[in-house]
């Protein structure tokens, strides 16, 4: 990973072989980022996506092992039970220009990943919500 601090956040480049969520989470810890948003684009593989089944309050997961280009990762940075939590979604496409989208559980950079992190000036927390079964932002 490479990064540069800029006026309103960080530019981060993940390199081939790095796991997106784990690497960004470590970066958030190391830089003491209290919350915020992350945006990105690049290429990935071994993508595990989730779709939240609201009726059953559970995620349906599917693995996409092939190389995909992602034109959009959008996520929030918060804390859950005292630890950084990145909640991110992705839209990614293959060589047939077929796209998939959903919650990122894991994915590995296959070429490069370029991300912008926009930090918050205060700590953002998540708390369990019994109605939805999700850990929601506590604002």
Domains and CATH numbers, the chain: 2-122 (3.30.1330.80)
pTM reported for the whole predicted model = 0.94
**Per-residue pLDDT tens digits for 35-69:** 999 999 999 999 999 999 999 999 999 999 999 99
**Per-residue pLDDT tens digits for 98-123:** 999 999 999 999 999 999 999 999 99
Angle at 16 between CA 10 and CA 18, to 5 degrees: 65
């Amino acid at each position: 990973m490479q990064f540069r601090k800029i006026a309103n956040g960080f530019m981060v480049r993940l390199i081939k072989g790095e796991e997106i969520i784990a690497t960004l989470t470590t970066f958030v810890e190391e830089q003491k980022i209290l919350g915020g948003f992350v945006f990105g684009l690049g290429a990935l593989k071994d993508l595990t996506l989730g779709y939240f089944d609201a009726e059953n309050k559970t995620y349906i997961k599917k693995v996409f092992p092939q190389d995909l280009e992602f034109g959009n990762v959008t996520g929030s940075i918060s804390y859950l039970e005292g630890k950084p939590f990145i909640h991110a979604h992705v839209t990614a496409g293959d060589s047939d220009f077929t796209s998939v989208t959903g919650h990122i559980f894991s994915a590995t950079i296959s070429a490069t990943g370029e991300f912008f992190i926009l930090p918050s000036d205060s700590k953002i927390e998540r708390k369990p919500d019994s109605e939805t079964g999700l850990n929601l932002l506590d604002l």
